[in-house]
Amino acid sequence: MKVNKREQILNQPSYWIENINGLLYNAIVDYMEEHNMKQKDLAAHLNISNGRVSQILNDGDINFSLDKVIQIALKVGMYPSFKLVKKSDVLVEDFDNSLVK
């Protein structure tokens, strides 16, 4: 039953979209703070418009193409690591975690 609920959530695209958006948002905000950047400095650094930067910082919606996401990650000092994991492996791991809890 526990695995089933998790599986239902993990099967929804929005779960992953919010997760990836959140990771990128944090990387960008951390980079801005570490480098004492303002919004316009970030726009110049990422080579995107002020409007797009505002959209990222205020709405948290990245919604860029994959190549732009990779460019942004590299520009904020991160290597984007992407992997596909078999659903069955994740669900077994989740079940093990639930037993530990």
Partner 1 sequence: MGKYSLIHTENIPNPTKIDIWELCKKGKSLLQMFIDEHPNDDLIFDKIAGALSIIEITSNLLRLPKTKFRLIDGHGINCKVYEAKSGIIRLYLFHEENTGKVIVTGGKKGNQKEDIKSVLQTIKDFKNESK
Applying CB under 8 A, the residues found at the interface with partner 1 are 1-2, 5-6, 8-10, 12-19, 22-23, 25-26, 29, 57-60, 94, 97-98, 101
Distance of closest approach, residue 36 Cβ to partner 1, in angstroms: 17
Which residues have a Cβ under 8 Å from the Cβ of 73 and sit 6 or more positions away? Answer: 24, 27, 79, 80
Comparing CB distances to partner 1, the nearer of 26 and 47 is 26
Comparing CB distances to partner 1, the nearer of 37 and 67 is 37
Angstrom CA distances, 25 to 41, 60, 66, 83, stand at 16, 6, 15, 20
Evaluate the CA torsion angle 85, 21, 40, 55 in order and state its sign.
positive
Q: Which amino acid is at 5?
A: K
Comparing CB distances to partner 1, the nearer of 14 and 81 is 14
Distance of closest approach, residue 54 Cβ to partner 1, in angstroms: 11
